[in-house]
């Protein structure tokens, strides 16, 4: 498939780009500084600005899927959604956040007392992005939330999927490596199971 990745030089975006290339997909890797994107076979690096809706739509046009892997506070969900719709891309996948996941019925992680204050604005904007997507009637979107900790780590291929509830391992740790998250996202592109839905992945 032909897949565009916005934010391809970031920690999650670079792993997603690498995973898609590993599987033989043709990847258009988009970043403000494309020279920071690792040189890989099947990957074409290109300069793009996630705040430029028309420019992004042109870059995404002709792709089977587009992936947004950008910080919520450094982007505008309305422009990203607009670019996805204008480009007529087949699917639009968003690297989401954990803040909007539930830790108890009706209780979102971002509202809990222990949630780090420095991440609250980012998490709240991620939740607003998800709310906007849920109002979309035509766009074929998927929002993929990582667990509480989204960190460097090995590629194991062993993880669990969930829906709207925060996942944690047997010790209570809620985490996923960028590499394993990338596997879950690539799996979703290849074998769609969550059209117009949010899902989460964790150990």
pLDDT digits (tens, 9 = 90+) for 70-93: 999 999 999 999 999 999 999 999
Please state the rounded mean pLDDT for residues 9-31. 98
Q: Cβ–Cβ contacts within 10 Å for residue 89, how many?
A: 24
Q: For 133-174, what is each residue's pLDDT tens digit?
A: 999 999 999 999 999 999 999 999 999 999 999 999 999 999
Residue 141 CA to residue 84 CA, distance in Å, equals 9
Q: Mean pLDDT, the chain, as a whole number? A: 97
Single out the residue of 175, 169, 165, 167 nearest to residue 104, CA to CA.
Answer: 165
The whole-number pLDDT of residue 125 equals 97
HSE, side-chain direction, 13 A CA sphere, residue 158: 3
Single out the residue of 177, 167, 163 nearest to residue 130, CA to CA.
Answer: 163
Q: For 87-119, what is each residue's pLDDT tens digit?
A: 999 999 999 999 999 999 999 999 999 999 999
Phi-psi category of 163—alpha, beta or left, where left has phi over 0 and alpha has psi -120 to 50? alpha
The whole-number pLDDT of residue 128 equals 97
Q: For 46-69, what is each residue's pLDDT tens digit?
A: 999 999 999 999 999 999 999 999
Tokens representing 149 are 């900790």
What is the pTM for the complete model shown? 0.96
Single out the residue of 3, 140, 141 nearest to residue 64, CA to CA.
Answer: 3
């Amino acid at each position: 498939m032909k897949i565009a990745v916005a934010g391809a030089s970031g920690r999650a975006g670079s792993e997603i780009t690498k995973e898609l290339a590993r599987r033989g997909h043709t990847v258009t890797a988009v970043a403000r500084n494309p020279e920071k994107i690792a040189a890989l076979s099947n990957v074409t690096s290109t300069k793009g600005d996630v705040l430029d809706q028309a420019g992004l739509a042109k870059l995404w046009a002709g792709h089977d899927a587009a992936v947004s892997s950008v910080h919520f506070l450094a982007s505008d969900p309305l422009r990203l959604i607009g670019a996805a719709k204008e480009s007529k891309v087949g699917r639009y996948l968003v690297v989401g956040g954990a803040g909007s996941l539930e830790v108890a019925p009706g209780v979102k992680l971002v509202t809990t007392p222990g949630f780090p204050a420095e991440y609250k604005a980012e998490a709240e904007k991620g939740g607003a992005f998800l709310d906007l997507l849920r109002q979309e009637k035509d766009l074929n979107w998927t929002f993929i939330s990582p667990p509480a900790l989204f960190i460097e780590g090995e590629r194991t291929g062993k993880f669990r999927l969930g829906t709207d509830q925060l996942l944690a391992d047997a010790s209570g740790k809620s985490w996923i490596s960028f590499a394993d998250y990338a596997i879950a996202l690539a799996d979703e592109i290849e074998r769609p199971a969550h059209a117009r839905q949010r899902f989460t992945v964790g150990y």
